[in-house]
Amino acid sequence: AVFCSTLVPSDEVTIEYKHGLPVITVPLPSRQERCWFSVKPMLMTVGGFLQDIRNEDKGIDNIAVFTADDSKISAATLMEDVLRNEFKLVINKLTYHVQPPVIERMSSERAAGMEDVKTLVHKLYSALYLEEHQLQKERELLEKLDSLREQLHPLEQVKANILQCSEAKSTRLLWIGMAFMSTQAGALAWLTWWVYSWDIMEPVTYFLTYGTALGFYAYLMLTKQDYIYADAKDRQFLHYFHRRAKRKRFDVDKYNQLREEMEEVEEDLRRLRSSLHLHIPVQQINWKE
């Protein structure tokens, strides 16, 4: 709703700049006094400014900001945008026409000079403090790396033992499969040439082959993978690894997390040392607390 009034307010809303910040003087209706409100244009929104006025005068029921053509300004709008043009401040039934002061724009030559000064100050700061800051960060990273290595050392020993046992079991399983297939081939040859004839053994070998195909198909249905000997060995190795890790109470998730953190620290340390050797600032390094 737009609140308008034909009454002429007894006082006006004024804006003046003090120490580089706009100070808005607003008459409070209940307290019958003028109050200063310091505004940070690039940070404060219209909603925050209006809330500050309400906090000073609890007797304010309706307050809003409108443009010069009576369009309401949303509460999320930055005060920087509002202060560029004339606007209206409506408090209860009083409408205040506010005319912000004209800010003198900086000339292009002066702006270029200010940019040169900023660049010079940045270079001076980098020359004086940046290398010391990088050395301090290097010490922090080295301390964190040592802490991670201490946490990983006992886990690495347990992992090495689990890997060794899992590799031995999966290799043993391959040799057992090799022995079974060799025994089967020898048995079929013995039955074919010494006990029975090929006419009798041919249906047996057919059903053995068909049964093997069914086994491979069942493996595909259960694992969603083709039966490849190397992949089957890796799958069995992981099965043995996780089963033994659970028995040894080896936390795989914690181990992986520590390894990832250590790799990140080593990468940050490598990039930091590279920048120290080249005497240039580190670019886009995300420091982790």
Q: What is the pLDDT of residue 190?
A: 87
Q: Which residues have CB under 8 Å from 33's CB, separation 6+?
A: 27
CATH of 14-98, one of 3.30.70, 3.10.20, 3.10.180, 3.40.50: 3.10.20
Q: How many helices (H) and strands (E) does the chain have?
A: 7, 6
Q: Which pLDDT band holds residue 65 (cuts at 50, 70, 90)?
A: very high
In the prediction, which pLDDT does 66 show?
92
Work out the mean pLDDT of the chain and round it to a whole number: 79
Q: What angle do CA 140, 142, 148 make, to 5 degrees?
A: 105
pLDDT value of residue 285: 42
pLDDT value, residue 288: 41
Residues linked to residue 26 through DSSP beta bridges, in sequence order? 35
Question: Which pLDDT tens digit goes with each residue over 117-135?
Answer: 777 777 676 666 666 677 7
Which has more pLDDT, 286 or 107? 107
Which comes out higher in pLDDT, residue 19 or 114?
19
Give the span between the Cα atoms of 74 and 65, in whole angstroms. 8
More confident residue, 156 or 7: 156
> Where are the domains positioned within the chain?
14-98, 127-278
According to the model, what pLDDT value does residue 4 have?
Answer: 34
Q: Cα 66 vs. chain centroid, distance in angstroms?
A: 39
> For residues 36 and 57, what is the distance between their CA atoms, to the nearest angstrom?
13
268 burial (CB, 10 Å; 0-12 / 13-18 / 19+) is buried
Instruction: Calculate mean pLDDT across residues 140-164.
Output: 86
pLDDT at 276 over 60: no
What was the pLDDT predicted at 104? Answer: 60
SS (H, E, C) 19-43: CCEEEEEEEECCCCEEEEEECCCCC
